[in-house]
């Protein structure tokens, strides 16, 4: 048996978390390295997770009044210079097309690192009157940011994402939209990915280049580091002014619009892996798992076993469950390991004795518990169990995280906290100097403001605190 164990190929999660991560992503067939440095190929098993993420999010975007569209990949370099902060933030990471169709281009073109500028240029054309507002458009697209250090899903030169871009007649409405979409992300992260997130405003240093304010959601990974899982930006009139997006208001006056943008990416797959995985490999929540249930025949060659398994599969398919019957030639033990590594939430084992007794054994990937259930109405049992697993995984992740939230009064406390793999809440005066000092001395960054919490003094300089901040080391 031991020799058949796939899991031996994966590094120990406690001993070497980064290697555990790359082992898991590659060996479960989620991803492979592309031929160009820093790129990834998202393989079918990984892409199926992305399709489930897309379908869940897209439903929510449409339910909140957004429409999808598609804007061009290539953006004139000159567009970036129109918004001063934006160009400073993105120009260094841009990939540039200089030649096309056998000729040198008159103006170099950037492959979009994000699309505020090209949306801005079109919105300026489309928006004329208050009747045209709000404009609520999202796109699913690939983007490119040339990064020095890359890791599959977490940081790659090309990645897939969605980016919403909206335009409104008032500051209040644009801010409402910014917060509404942050709320959509949070609800999705918790109910679909089973990942509890902390949402809040980012510091000036950490905000999106060109935004008035950025709000992020932060998720704790199993090594205690934070992963920024999504952001929503209130852009004020910065892009409206840069791209001359004006409308004629009811009062006959030309006014600039207020805009927002918000996005999540294939990074979420990295979050799933690191929030739930363990030494057996992936551990996927049912809502986004490509395979929710695997059926493994025991003593498959005995009469009636494969037939009973196929019948069970049909029952589950009928109920809309994503189910696979593994009737391959490997031993049950080998299959157990393989499907556990792939993170399939439920495994049903069905052998001659089970069939005789009208029972089946169900294994839960999240708790590693095995329980016997009646075969009668098993499709109801399975659906209930999938819902339970989904809920329990969120709860387990929440407990893990909440046990690792610490408080600190000084920079040494922050250091000790993050060394232990905690999120550390501490007061901060609001100065860039103190923020930089935390980073230099602890390798932790200000993730988001802990909304509603107050500290009396800055953990760095001791002056009056302006915000309570969550500090953490981050991906």
Residues that bind a second copy (CB under 8 A): 32, 34-36, 39-44, 46-48, 50-51, 67-76, 79, 91-102, 108-109, 111, 118, 121-122, 125-126, 137, 141-142, 144, 146-148, 157-158, 160
**CB of residue 88 to a second copy, shortest distance in Å:** 13
Question: Position of tokens 């489309």?
Answer: 126
Q: From the CB of 47, what's the least distance to a second copy, in Å?
A: 5
Please, what sign has the CA dihedral across residues 336, 338, 340, 342?
negative
Shortest Å, Cβ 115 to a second copy: 11
Are the C-beta atoms of residues 389 and 362 closer than 8 Å to each other? no
**Buried-exposed string 351-377: b where 16+ CB fall within 10 A, e elsewhere:** bbebbeeebbbbbbbbeeeeeebebee
Collect all residues with Cβ–Cβ distance below 8 Å to 153 and sequence separation of at least 6.
25, 30, 31, 40, 46, 159, 266, 267, 269, 270, 273
CB 104, min distance to a second copy, A = 10
d(CA 131, CA 101): 42
Give, in degrees to the nearest 5, the angle at Cα 201 between 415 and 433. 50
State which residue, 3 or 131, has the beta carbon closest to a second copy: 131
Distance separating alpha carbons of residues 452 and 454, to the nearest angstrom: 7
**Closer residue to a second copy (CB): 126 or 402:** 126
Nearer Cβ to a second copy (148/250): 148
In the complex, least distance from residue 225 CB atom to a second copy, rounded to whole angstroms: 25
State which residue, 92 or 333, has the beta carbon closest to a second copy. 92
d(CA 391, CA 275): 15
Q: Give the E-state strand segments of 269-358 in sequence order.
A: 293-297, 323-325, 346-350
Which residue's entry shows tokens 């500028």?
117
Q: What's the closest the beta carbon of residue 282 comes to a second copy, in angstroms? A: 17
Cβ closer to a second copy: 4 or 93? 93
The span from the CA of 434 to the CA of 427, in Å, is: 11
> What residues are paired with 255 via a beta bridge?
247
Which CB sits closer to a second copy, 280 or 342?
342
In the complex, the smallest distance separating the C-beta of residue 245 from a second copy, rounded to whole angstroms, is 14
Which one, 78 or 377, has the nearer CB to a second copy?
Answer: 78
DSSP letter assigned to residue 444 = -
């Amino acid at each position: 048996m031991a020799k058949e164990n796939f899991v031996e190929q994966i590094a120990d999660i406690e001993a070497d978390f980064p290697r555990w991560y790359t082992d898991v992503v590659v060996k479960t067939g989620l991803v492979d390295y592309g031929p160009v440095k820093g790129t990834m190929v998202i393989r079918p098993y990984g892409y199926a997770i992305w399709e489930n993420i897309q379908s869940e999010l897209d439903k929510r975007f449409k339910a909140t009044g957004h429409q999808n569209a598609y804007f061009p990949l290539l953006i004139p370099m000159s567009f970036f210079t129109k918004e001063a902060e934006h160009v400073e933030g993105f120009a260094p990471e841009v990939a540039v097309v200089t030649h096309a169709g056998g000729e040198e281009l008159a103006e170099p073109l950037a492959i979009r690192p994000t699309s505020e500028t090209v949306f801005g240029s079109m919105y300026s054309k489309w928006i004329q009157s208050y009747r045209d507002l709000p404009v609520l458009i999202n796109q699913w697209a690939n983007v490119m940011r040339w990064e020095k250090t890359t890791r599959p899903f977490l940081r790659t030169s090309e990645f897939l994402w969605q980016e919403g871009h909206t335009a409104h007649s008032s500051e209040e409405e644009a801010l409402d939209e910014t917060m509404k979409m942050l709320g959509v992300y949070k609800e999705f992260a918790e109910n679909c990915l089973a990942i509890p997130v902390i949402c809040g405003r980012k510091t000036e240093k950490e905000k999106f280049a060109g935004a008035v304010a950025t709000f992020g959601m932060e998720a704790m990974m199993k090594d205690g580091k934070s992963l920024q899982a999504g952001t929503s930006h209130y852009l004020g009139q910065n892009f409206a002014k840069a791209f001359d997006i004006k409308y004629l208001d009811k009062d006959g006056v030309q006014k600039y619009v207020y805009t927002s943008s918000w996005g999540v990416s294939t990074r979420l797959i990295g979050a799933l892996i690191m929030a739930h995985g363990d030494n057996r490999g992936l551990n996927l929540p049912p809502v986004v798992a490509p395979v929710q249930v695997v059926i493994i025949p025991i003593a498959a060659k005995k009469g009636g076993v494969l037939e009973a398994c196929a019948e069970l599969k049909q029952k589950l398919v009928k109920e809309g469950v994503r189910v696979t019957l593994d009737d391959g030639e490997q031993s049950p033990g080998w299959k157990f390991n393989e499907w556990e590594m792939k993170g399939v939430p439920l495994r049903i084992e069905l052998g001659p004795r089970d069939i005789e007794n009208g029972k089946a054994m169900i294994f839960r990937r999240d708790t590693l518990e095995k329980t016997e259930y009646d075969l009668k109405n098993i499709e109801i049992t399975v659906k209930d169990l999938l819902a339970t697993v989904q809920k329990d995984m969120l709860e387990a992740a929440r407990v893990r995280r909440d046990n690792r939230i610490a408080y600190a009064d000084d920079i040494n406390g922050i250091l000790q906290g993050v060394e232990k793999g905690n999120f550390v809440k501490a007061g901060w005066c609001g100065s860039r100097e103190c923020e930089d000092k935390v980073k230099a001395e602890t390798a932790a960054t200000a993730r988001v403001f802990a909304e509603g919490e107050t500290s009396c003094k800055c953990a760095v300089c001791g002056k009056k605190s302006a915000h309570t901040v969550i500090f953490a080391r981050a991906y």
